[in-house]
């Protein structure tokens, strides 16, 4: 499958941002994270895993973006559609790009916004941010939610990358019986599942969560330990693998040998819940509507799991806006990519979590992950 995006895709993103900037009377938006910078430039590298250098992109309201970056990135940035690239030799202990960025911003205007709302992060030191503000006519304010609004809706080209990531994960999940059975330590399952993901075409596997415990698990964020899978366990694997810079994020549950009827019944309810959400996942409904559609089935409306939400947006980040929670009234819109992620209590202290990935289209949802079967697959017990 083709890598990257065509230039018109980036120009369309910039142009959408500029329409919003003009509406909100912003002269430019300043971006600091890998995903934000890549969204407008196509600059794809793992190099920002290193926190040592700040990277900046300035998206002005009336012209093409300007990259203000460490010189080590110049060659790669020059391969993108960005023409205006300004560099400094980083790290610089006394001025790590701050004066170059300030000069760039002053040349554009005085109303500068930066993503500041929920799920946003500032990828530069606070001291430098304060110094930057001190060098500007007026301090940097909010981006008025523009970046969130844009990234909420994926283009078809973005969706097909997420689809590819989902397909890769699907093939890896289908091969779990090759690597997991009673006696296999969980940490070995984790390691070998990542190998399956790579084998099936993942570029990277930045996220793998999971658990294995009798009759369901207690939490879903612990690292793997050396405990061997044991008959009666439920094994859950939840992967955020990446293809060409885009994540999938879904899980699968497996029974090790035989499990009590209650466990199978709980799993069936989860599948019913994701299907119920899928059925109402269309423009006109909201993120909260999806939460309630699942909640009604998994806990009869009694309040939801401690995960606090039953799904979220998905794209260049493992998790994006919106959140499938009672208070999120974000209207579902064509092009939104979401996870459906209900949890259910099996016995006191044990739970199961299901997760699927969908995309909202004009007339309803489409599955990006091929939905889990009602009956949990069995591993050799």
**Site residues for a copy of itself, window 106-125 (CB under 8 A)?**
114, 116-125
182 sits near a copy of itself (criterion: CB under 8 A): no
Are 274 and 342 a contacting pair, CB within 8 Å? Answer: yes
308 sits near a copy of itself (criterion: CB under 8 A): yes
End-to-end CA distance of the chain: 39
Bridge partner residues of 233 (DSSP): 214
218 sits near a copy of itself (criterion: CB under 8 A): yes
CA–CA dist 61, 17 (Å, integer): 8
> Binding residues for a copy of itself, how many (CB under 8 A)?
77
Query: The tokens 């709980």 sit on which residue?
Result: 266
74 sits near a copy of itself (criterion: CB under 8 A): yes
For the bound state, the minimum distance from the C-beta of residue 20 to a copy of itself, rounded and expressed in Å, comes to: 18
Annotate 65-109 with DSSP letters as a single string: -EEEEEGGGHHHHHTSS--EEEEE-S--SS-SSHHHHHHHHHTT-
CA–CA dist 218, 211 (Å, integer): 8
Out of 199, 262, 279, 380, the only residue in the binding site for a copy of itself (CB under 8 A) is: 199
180 sits near a copy of itself (criterion: CB under 8 A): no
328 sits near a copy of itself (criterion: CB under 8 A): yes
Query: The tokens 């909420």 sit on which residue?
Result: 152
Contact region with a copy of itself (CB under 8 A), list: 45-53, 99-107, 228-236, 370-378: 45-53
Q: 91 preceded by cis ω (within 30°)?
A: yes
373 sits near a copy of itself (criterion: CB under 8 A): no
Out of 14, 112, 147, 205, the only residue in the binding site for a copy of itself (CB under 8 A) is: 205
CA–CA dist 131, 271 (Å, integer): 52
Question: Per-residue contact track with a copy of itself, 234 to 273, x per CB under 8 A?
Answer: ------x---------------------------------
126 CB burial (10 A radius; 0-12, 13-18, 19+): exposed
> 142 or 275: whose CB is closer to a copy of itself?
142
Are 83 and 41 a contacting pair, CB within 8 Å? Answer: no
Question: Per-residue contact track with a copy of itself, 125 to 144, x per CB under 8 A?
Answer: xxx--------------x--
For the bound state, the minimum distance from the C-beta of residue 319 to a copy of itself, rounded and expressed in Å, comes to: 4
> 193 or 278: whose CB is closer to a copy of itself?
193
Secondary structure (3-state) at 22: helix
> 2 or 362: whose CB is closer to a copy of itself?
2
Out of 107, 183, 223, 301, the only residue in the binding site for a copy of itself (CB under 8 A) is: 223
42 sits near a copy of itself (criterion: CB under 8 A): no
For the chain, the C-alpha Rg in angstroms (whole number) is 23
């Amino acid at each position: 499958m083709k890598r990257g995006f065509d230039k018109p895709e980036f120009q369309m993103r910039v142009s959408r941002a500029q329409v919003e900037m003009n509406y909100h009377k912003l002269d430019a938006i300043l971006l600091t994270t890998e995903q934000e910078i890549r969204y407008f430039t196509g600059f794809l590298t793992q190099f920002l895993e290193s926190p040592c250098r700040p990277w900046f992109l300035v998206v002005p309201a009336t012209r093409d973006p300007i990259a203000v970056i460490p010189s080590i990135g110049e060659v790669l940035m020059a391969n993108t559609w960005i023409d205006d690239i300004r560099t400094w030799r980083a790290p610089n202990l006394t001025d790590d790009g701050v004066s170059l960025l300030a000069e760039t911003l002053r040349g554009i205007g005085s109303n500068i916004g930066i993503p500041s709302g929920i799920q946003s992060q500032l990828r530069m030191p606070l001291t430098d941010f304060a110094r930057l503000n001190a060098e500007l006519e007026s301090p940097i304010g909010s981006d008025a939610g523009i970046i969130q609004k844009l990234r909420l809706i994926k283009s078809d080209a973005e969706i097909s990358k997420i689809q590819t990531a989902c397909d890769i994960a699907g093939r890896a999940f289908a091969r779990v019986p090759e690597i997991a059975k009673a006696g296999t330590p969980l940490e070995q399952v984790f390691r070998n599942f990542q190998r399956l993901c790579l084998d099936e075409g993942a570029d990277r596997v930045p996220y793998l969560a999971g658990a294995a415990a009798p009759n369901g698990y207690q939490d879903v964020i612990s690292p793997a330990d050396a405990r061997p899978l044991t008959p009666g366990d439920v094994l859950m694997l939840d992967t955020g693998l990446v293809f060409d810079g885009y994540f999938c994020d879904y899980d699968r549950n497996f029974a090790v040998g035989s499990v009590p009827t209650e466990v199978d019944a709980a799993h069936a309810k989860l599948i019913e819940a994701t299907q119920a959400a899928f059925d109402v996942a269309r423009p006109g409904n909201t993120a909260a509507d999806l939460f309630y559609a699942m909640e009604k089935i998994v806990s009869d409306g009694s309040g939801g799991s401690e995960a606090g939400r039953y799904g979220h947006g998905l794209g260049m980040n493992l998790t994006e806006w919106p959140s499938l929670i009672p208070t999120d009234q974000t209207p579902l819109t064509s092009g939104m990519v979401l996870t459906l992620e209900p949890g259910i209590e099996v016995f006191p202290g044990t739970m199961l979590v299901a997760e699927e990935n969908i995309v909202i289209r004009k007339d309803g949802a489409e599955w990006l992950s091929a939905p889990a079967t009602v009956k949990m697959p069995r591993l050799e017990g």
